[in-house]
Amino acid sequence: MKKLFFATALLFTACLQAQMQLPESTYTNIEEQVIAWRHDIHQNPELSNREFKTAAKIAAHLKSLGIEIQTGVAKTGVVGLLKGDLPGKVVALRADIDALPVTERNDLPFKSTVKGTFMGEEVGVMHACGHDTHTAILMGVASVLSQNKDKIKGTVKFIFQPAEEGAPPGEEGGASLMIEEGVLENPKVDAIFGLHINSVLPVGMIGYKPLGAMAASDRFVIKVQGKQTHGSQPWGGVDPILISAKIIDGLQTLISRESELTNEAAVITVGKITAGVRFNIIPESAELIGTIRTLDYKMRDHIGARMKEMVADIAKAYRGSATVEIDNGAAITYNDANLVDQMLPTLKKTAGPDQVMLMKAITGAEDFSFFQEKVPGFYFFLGGNTPGNTEAFPHHTPDFKIDDAGMLLGVRTLSEMALDYLSE
């Protein structure tokens, strides 16, 4: 009987430890600073592998907290190591820090007017996917946890990752390069957590999905070869622009007629077409660049193989030729089921039981997936839309907006997740 009582007492104590909660004042005192960081980063965005000023800002903050830092990881990444007062496991928290080649079009007082160069062209630069919020949130988590080392049973590794949107052509970068350079080692990471702000999900809510949560992303390049001729005499040449149109139309049948969409979603998008120099000349060639999104690896393989067959055959049917190159990008963002079950009580603790919702998978992609291929990971979504707002602009668009009020929950949730994971 005594043994049973002792075992029950130990279990009860463990549950209490796993559900520790820092005082509310811990978070409210940091909110203003987190918002200020976010505004500054948003106003000064930097493209993938060019996040020099952002990295310097992060490193200076971590250093001021007494956190051991490493800079220049995967070119511009920053890694911080915070050792708790008690021994235990290692948990990693990750934020992405890069912006996009998008010209901002909203009326925010901290709107970006920064210009940059992308693939040889001058472009606007904007945090059009919310990475500025991710960075500011994780900086806030570092502040919170560094002030509570006595409650940390183990080690927290802060990973500020560059080039989540993809390194420029011809360069390496992102999560895969960080892993190659040993970010999950010394000390070895046991689990990793990350979040993504969501412009549609209302502030105060958290969305999650076990197993496949986000799609694999592949980049493709189609090169179409025709024969140049005068625009008034199309019969004198082979029109690569016409062929490109037929190819784009044909590719969509791979989704609508060959993909088992009741199993998982899939998407093929052509995002860029380059052809011609003058209105009255049918050019010699055209180039199409786009993305394939899949949530099932068999579907991924089938679509890739069929694209190569279909594109060549369509071009041949119109007297031209075409080639396809497919580069595998992010893997499927796969949330470890056991880790989700373990941390779900923490999400409900920080947001409230009614504010945590099970989501369907989305066809956006995340290179956080590369971390999850190496260690158990959990990636969730944080509400960033003002409650009642019906005009939520999509990510990667010039009008994209996030409500600052959503960020405090992100700080609280990542902080509590780290503490609860290490306490179990």
Give the pLDDT score at 18: 52
In a domain, 95, yes or no: yes
Q: Are residues 372 and 232 in the same domain?
A: no
CA geometry: angle 166, 395, 254, nearest 5 deg: 70
Q: Are residues 265 and 366 in the same domain?
A: no
Give the pLDDT score at 23: 87
Q: Are residues 71 and 153 in the same domain?
A: yes
Task: Among 308, 328, 348, identify where a domain stops.
Answer: 328
- Residue 171: CA atoms inside 13 Å, Cβ hemisphere, count? 18
In a domain, 1, yes or no: no
**Total domain count, the chain:** 2
Give the pLDDT score at 2: 46
Q: Please write the tens of the pLDDT for every residue from 39-83.
A: 999 999 999 999 999 999 999 999 999 999 999 999 999 999 999
Give the pLDDT score at 10: 47
Give the pLDDT score at 11: 46
Give yes or no for a contact between 99 and 126, defined as CB atoms under 8 angstroms apart.
yes
- Tally the residues of the chain: 424
Q: Are residues 142 and 291 in the same domain?
A: no
d(CA 212, CA 109): 38
Can you give the residue range of the structural domain that contains 268? Answer: 216-328
Give the pLDDT score at 119: 87
d(CA 213, CA 363): 9
Query: Which residues participate in catalysis according to the annotation?
Result: 98, 164
Q: Please write the tens of the pLDDT for every residue from 110-169.
A: 999 999 999 899 999 999 999 999 999 999 999 999 999 999 999 999 999 999 999 998
What's the Cα-to-Cα distance from 311 to each of 172, 240, 253, 355, rounded to whole Å? 28, 12, 12, 46
b/e sequence 229-267, b meaning 16+ C-beta within 10 Å: beeeeeeebbbbebbbebbbebbeebbeeebeeeebbbb
Confidence of residue 376 (pLDDT cuts 50, 70, 90): very high
What pTM value is reported for the model? 0.89
In a domain, 159, yes or no: yes
Residue 149 DSSP symbol = G
Task: Among 328, 344, 375, identify where a domain stops.
Answer: 328
